[in-house]
Structure 1
Amino acid sequence: MLEKIKQISQLFNDQEKLRWYGLEPELNKILGTRTLEELISDLEESLETFPRKKLPHYCLVFFLAIFILNDYKQSDNIIADIKSKKCYKNLINGLKIFLVSKSADLRYEIAESNYDDYKNKYEYVESFSSYVYTFEIKNSAFLNILNFIYLVEPKDFYNIIVHDKQNILFLCFFTRGRQMFKYEDLIQLLLIDDEVKSNSVFFHLMLEWRSLVRKYYSENVPAKRDDLSKEIERINLVFSKVPIERRTHFIINFLFVKNNKINEYPICFVEDLQNIDINILIFEIKKLDLSNLFVLIKIFEVMKLLSSQELEKVFTQYFLKWIDTNSNHYVWEQNKKEIYKILHLITPKAKKNISSELTLLKNKLFISSFDRQVRYTIFYKDEIKGKIIAELLAIKDIN
């Protein structure tokens, strides 16, 4: 068995990119026609002949091979006995080594993720979910092993998957819904410091609710409303066991996904926002990319739920900063209706402050005919800025 695993390991290493199912003919030649139970029995009996330091690696290679050739869903006949076997324990260790990218022989090689570009990690997770299938294909054998481990012992699965340094396998599980996890098992995962992981778990928690919302609007039948109510209760049961600060983090991320046209959210989100310390709320909002007007307008959803001078100050600060430094005609046209809604909501004092600041900005613009001739770049930017300011000052609601 040792020589066979060395051959498989070499076969994997020789691939520029692991195309798992393209390896089936070669793996069949190496492993022959023996059953899954017979192969695992052979491995278990051979472990004493393996170099001790190589045991985790070789067991991982072996299970990769058998789950390229076999569907993990058809492994019921080995699940009951494998947990006590040494090869299973070494597989667990091998996966942990692999996921933290410390293995010199079998590395987690995949394209760099761009989640650092997202201040709102839930938004990144939502974006990832739209192309997760491509990553599932590239990593199918690893996903099959992890699915198998979940069937053997869910605790082992959770203890392994949290070590996924690059987060790709973690995201594959929690965004696609390939495995619907028990809600009570998600509580500890929601507390993980890694925001990509914790937000992908939150995404998973919201999967069924999002599906029911879509069905309710498309079919509009009373039964769907009942299902929605039950799902909200299940979400609330999980959320009630998570600290309010972490709940606020998830809720704000959920509400501030830019370009999200669906404005529905569970009632428990509303209750939390209305009861949270305003400083915690502002802290989470300021962590987002408020310089982006598509993000900033999402503050309207929070303003509808609670009246707060602190919220008005945040909006005023970042909106005026956007006008002064990032004015863009296209972005303005896309978002001005939402801005008008916000201006209608805020207090007269806040409106007066915005009007005064806009007047000051207007008086500083370089938009004369002389400016056009001698500093056209500045003139062009200020001309766009001036048109936006003029539109705003013309609104009766702001004066």
Structure 2
Amino acid sequence: MIEKVEKIAALINSRSTGWFRLKPDLVNILGTENCEKLIDDFESQLGSFPSKNLPHYSLVFYLALVILHPHNDLAKLSSDIKDKESYRMMQAGLRIFLTSKSDKLKYDVELTAEQFPNKYEYINFFSGHIPDYEMDMRGFLLLFELIYYEDKQRFLNVMNQDHQNMIFLCVLLNGRVILSSNELISFLNSEDLLKANGAFFCIMEGFSNLARKISNHPTEENEEELHQKIIKIHELLEKVSEERKIHFIVNYILAEQSYPSFFADELKSSRLNTVVAELESKNLNNLYKLKDMFKVMKILPETEIERVFALHFIKWVKDDSNPYLWENFKHDIKYAISLLSDKTKKDIMQQLKVFGETLNVSSFDYQVRQSLFRKEEAKSIIIKECLGY
């Protein structure tokens, strides 16, 4: 059996196509696709494996098993293996794999989450690419489903072991395993913000989809369903700290077009410095992100919030002034400026005017240093549009 499992490991590591295409080779190696017989044979030979490698061998064996077993009937398989020693060893092997300590089955992925200060926005982005990731990790995803059917709490515990989060997010978002609201709570409170925002995304997905549906086709039935979802969202957010609640709400408001009305009430009743700190953690130097600040400014017309917008807009004009971004988003930015108090608005305009006077945009500049002229002309045009020239 050791040789068979080692062949399976080599087959898995060298695969270049989908997991299910391995099935004929797995049958050739194991001699049958009868999972009940395979489990009995493997269990009977556990004593022949080196004890320190048993978690790894068990993991490889169960990867083969979930490929051979009809993947829409994993609940049946879970009842057959729940008391098996090899099943316990497989979970130990899976934990080793998830923490990247295995030198025989590598789990080394590169997500782009660090490029997204708003982790909810990243989860939304990731959800559109799940099929690509699933193709590479299908066997492991099926193992998670197997554990879910056998013991949901054990499943949640193993999910928490995934520090790279790719498998975690695939299992959470691919729709094959639907976690209840209570099961998602532990992830909402996670110190890992990808896990927390993944759970929050699941909680908000029903609201987001229904809100879009109502905007196109409002009905009393849909309105009532939306109302019930909002009540449930409110109940769940009461189970996290104020800081985490504001984190979720700010992320959602900046990323989505509509939001539950109580989100605004929560921002109004929260500590202002908590909201400011959350906003400042986002990449607001990017005009694509900064343009959405108006949604928060409408809810909280506070000087501290205005200063966050003013600081980052001035910095964008000085450091970037991408004319294409400006053309796309200038109406949103001008609307945000219109929401400012007279004092903040006057301060922004004064800073823009002073900076505009330092720019090299004279006819002399055009004649002798055209590259600098063109760069600073873009800044000058933006400033003039803001000043109303």
TM class by shorter chain equals: over 0.9
1:72/1:152 Cα in 2 relative to 1: closer, same or farther (>3 Å)?
farther
Q: How many Å apart are 1:383 and its aligned residue?
A: 1.1
- Residues 244 and 272, structure 1, Cα contact 8 Å, conserved in 2: no
Q: How many Å apart are 1:10 and its aligned residue?
A: 2.9
- Name stretches of at least 5 consecutive residues in structure 1 with no aligned partner: none
Which residue of the other structure, out of 364, 370, 374, is the alignment partner of 1:370? 364
The residue type equivalent to 1:69 in the other structure is: L
Counterpart CA distance in 1 for 2:72 and 2:226 is: 30
User: Is residue 2:80 matched to residue 1:104?
Assistant: no
Counterpart CA distance in 2 for 1:263 and 1:163 is: 34
The residue type equivalent to 2:239 in the other structure is: K
- Residues 35 and 68, structure 2, Cα contact 8 Å, conserved in 1: no
Which residue number corresponds to residue 341 of structure 2?
A: 347
Counterpart CA distance in 2 for 1:327 and 1:208 is: 38
Equivalent positions of 1:270-285 (< 5 A) are 270-285=264-279
The residue matched to 1:139 in structure 2 has which SS? Answer: helix
Q: How many Å apart are 1:384 and its aligned residue?
A: 1.1
Structure 1, residues 284-335: CA drift from partner, whole Å, max 9, x if none? 1001111101111111111111220001111111111111121121111111
Counterpart CA distance in 1 for 2:87 and 2:205 is: 32
The residue type equivalent to 1:287 in the other structure is: S
- Residues 72 and 148, structure 1, Cα contact 8 Å, conserved in 2: no
- Residues 144 and 171, structure 2, Cα contact 8 Å, conserved in 1: no
Which residue number corresponds to residue 129 of structure 1?
A: 127
Which residue number corresponds to residue 8 of structure 1?
A: 8
Which residue of the other structure, out of 374, 381, 391, is the alignment partner of 2:385? 391
Q: CA RMSD in A?
A: 1.7
Which residue number corresponds to residue 260 of structure 2?
A: 266
| Normalised TM-score (structure 1) | 0.93
- Runs (4 or more) in structure 1 with deviation over 6 Å come to none
Q: How many Å apart are 1:54 and its aligned residue?
A: 1.1
Counterpart CA distance in 1 for 2:176 and 2:69 is: 18
Structure 1, residues 256-292: CA drift from partner, whole Å, max 9, x if none? 23xxxx5211223222111111101010100111110
The residue matched to 1:75 in structure 2 has which SS? Answer: helix
State, as a whole percentage, how many aligned pairs show the same letter.
Answer: 38
Which residue number corresponds to residue 73 of structure 1?
A: 72
- Name stretches of at least 5 consecutive residues in structure 2 with no aligned partner: none
The residue type equivalent to 2:18 in the other structure is: R
1:18/1:9 Cα in 2 relative to 1: closer, same or farther (>3 Å)?
farther
- Residues 92 and 156, structure 1, Cα contact 8 Å, conserved in 2: no
The residue matched to 1:392 in structure 2 has which SS? Answer: helix
1:10/1:394 Cα in 2 relative to 1: closer, same or farther (>3 Å)?
closer
Which residue of the other structure, out of 282, 287, 290, is the alignment partner of 1:288? 282
1:87/1:18 Cα in 2 relative to 1: closer, same or farther (>3 Å)?
farther
- Residues 73 and 148, structure 1, Cα contact 8 Å, conserved in 2: no
Structure 1, residues 163-213: CA drift from partner, whole Å, max 9, x if none? 213211111122333321011111121122222222112111112212222
- Residues 12 and 18, structure 1, Cα contact 8 Å, conserved in 2: no
Q: How many Å apart are 1:81 and its aligned residue?
A: 4.8
| Normalised TM-score (structure 2) | 0.95
Q: How many Å apart are 1:124 and its aligned residue?
A: 1.5
Equivalent pairs, count: 389
Which residue number corresponds to residue 203 of structure 1?
A: 201
Q: How many Å apart are 1:6 and its aligned residue?
A: 2.6
Equivalent positions of 1:7-26 (< 5 A) are 7-13=7-13, 15=14, 17=16, 19-26=18-25
Q: How many Å apart are 1:232 and its aligned residue?
A: 1.1
- Residues 186 and 201, structure 1, Cα contact 8 Å, conserved in 2: yes
